[in-house]
């Protein structure tokens, strides 16, 4: 844990009650203002990490430490927009403030500001069924931003969107991040998205879930469309893709050798 760390996870392991080792000995320190992606195949423990950071799940062993203040202002964005279908856009976004006891009049300005940030001014009275997938996700992001978080935890927020919508939301999110200087932890299994957005990509592998690489993306912001087609972008994507394949093939080799091992064979007989 360095002075500029927002939080750090030290030697974190998580075993679910059915025996699944979701995380083993994971170490990760995230610094103030960083945009960090957790990248890895389905089942490698990305959501488990995010839930532990959010305080939504317990770890089996290890430690989570926060700097500055014990309880940082945090917001969580899930893959599903999870909006209340019976409520307007405005009232969906208002929900966290309402739950914290804030009255309607007091929350109006914050709701308007959050909607403006995600470019949804004018849709206050719409219902979720009237919105496209991308707009629903914008509402979900506004609902997270309305609490004025310092730390934004996002679990595959754009995974269900088409490529063009995802790309637009990626650049809008980056613009906002540059203005607001949040610390972002962004979960994805999309290499291109991770490289485009992040100043650091944490590559994870499964069974057990662990960090296999911590790759700084040293490209300046703002990142334009030119960055997506640059040689540098391509280089990062290939490097990370190779690390993912390497981690997956080690896993297969480990399995193959353990099946051939005499001890294992003996124990099977
Ligand atoms: P990811 O988000 O990378 O897809 P998860 O963190 O959701 O991975 O899951 C990591 C591993 O833990 C997976 O093998 C998954 O099946 C398992 N897992 C997740 N949640 C539970 C749970 N509540 N009970 C048992 N196993 C779980
Ligand atoms: Mg997940």
pLDDT of residue 249: 78
pLDDT above 80 for 207: yes
Q: What is the pLDDT of residues 11-66, one digit of tens each?
A: 999 999 999 999 999 999 999 999 999 999 999 999 999 999 999 989 999 999 99
pLDDT above 90 for 183: yes
pLDDT above 80 for 260: no
Nearest CA to ligand 1 atom 24: 16
Nearest CA to ligand 1 atom 15: 43
Q: Which helix (H) or strand (E) holds 144?
A: helix 133-145
Is residue 4 very low, low, confident or very high in pLDDT (cuts 50, 70, 90)?
Answer: confident
Segment 129-157 shows an average pLDDT of 94
Segment 74-97 shows an average pLDDT of 94
Is residue 251 very low, low, confident or very high in pLDDT (cuts 50, 70, 90)?
Answer: low
Q: Is the separation of the CB atoms in 35 and 221 below 8 Å?
A: no
Residue 215 bridge partners (DSSP): 201
The alpha carbons of the chain give a radius of gyration, in whole angstroms, of 20
Answer left, alpha or beta for residue 229, where phi above 0 means left and psi between -120 and 50 means alpha: alpha
Is 5-72+150-268 a CATH 3.40.50.300 domain? yes
Using the mean position of ligand 2's atoms as its centre, give its distance from the Cα of residue 50 in Å: 9
pLDDT of residue 252: 57
Ligand 1 pocket by Cβ (under 6 Å): 16, 18, 20, 22, 40, 42-48, 209
Q: Is the separation of the CB atoms in 100 and 142 below 8 Å?
A: no
Q: For 34-63, b where at least 16 C-beta lie within 10 A, e where not — what string? A: bbbbbbbeeebbbbbbbbbbeeeeebeebe
Average pLDDT, rounded, for the chain: 89
Sheet containing 210-216, strands listed edge to edge, beginning at the edge strand earlier in sequence: 74-77, 151-155, 183-188, 35-39, 200-205, 210-216
Beta strand ranges found along the chain (DSSP E): 5-15, 21-31, 35-39, 61-66, 74-77, 151-155, 183-188, 200-205, 210-216
pLDDT above 90 for 262: no
Q: What is the pLDDT of residues 112-123, one digit of tens each?
A: 999 999 999 999
Using the mean position of ligand 2's atoms as its centre, give its distance from the Cα of residue 49 in Å: 9
Domain positions in the chain are 5-72+150-268
Cα distances (Å, whole numbers) of residue 61 to 16, 26, 67, 189: 12, 10, 20, 26
pLDDT of residue 36: 98
Query: What percent of the chain has a predicted confidence (pLDDT) above 70?
Result: 91
């Amino acid at each position: 844990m360095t002075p500029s760390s927002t939080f750090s996870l030290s030697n974190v392991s998580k075993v679910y009650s059915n025996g699944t080792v979701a995380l083993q000995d994971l170490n990760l320190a995230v610094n103030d203002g960083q945009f960090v992606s957790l990248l890895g195949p389905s089942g490698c423990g990305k959501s488990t990490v995010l839930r532990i950071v959010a305080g939504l799940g317990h770890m089996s062993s290890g430690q989570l430490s926060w700097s500055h203040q014990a309880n940082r202002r945090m917001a969580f964005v899930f893959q599903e927009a999870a909006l209340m279908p019976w409520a307007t856009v405005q009232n969906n976004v208002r929900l966290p403030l309402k739950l914290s006891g804030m009255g309607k009049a007091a929350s109006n300005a914050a709701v308007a500001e959050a909607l403006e940030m995600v470019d949804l001014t004018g849709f206050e009275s719409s219902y979720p069924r009237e919105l496209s997938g991308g707009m629903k996700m914008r509402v979900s992001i506004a609902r997270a931003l309305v609490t004025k978080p310092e730390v934004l935890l996002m679990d595959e927020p754009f995974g269900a969107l088409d490529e063009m919508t995802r790309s637009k939301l990626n650049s809008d999110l980056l613009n906002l991040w540059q203005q607001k200087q949040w610390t972002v932890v962004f979960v994805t299994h999309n290499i291109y998205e991770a490289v485009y957005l992040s100043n650091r990509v944490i590559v994870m592998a499964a069974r057990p879930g662990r960090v296999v690489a911590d790759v700084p993306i040293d490209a300046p912001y703002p990142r334009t469309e030119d960055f997506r087609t640059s040689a540098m972008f391509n280089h990062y994507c290939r490097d990370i893709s190779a690390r993912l394949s390497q981690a997956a093939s080690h896993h297969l080799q480990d399995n193959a050798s353990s099946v051939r091992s005499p001890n294992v064979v003996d124990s099977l007989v």
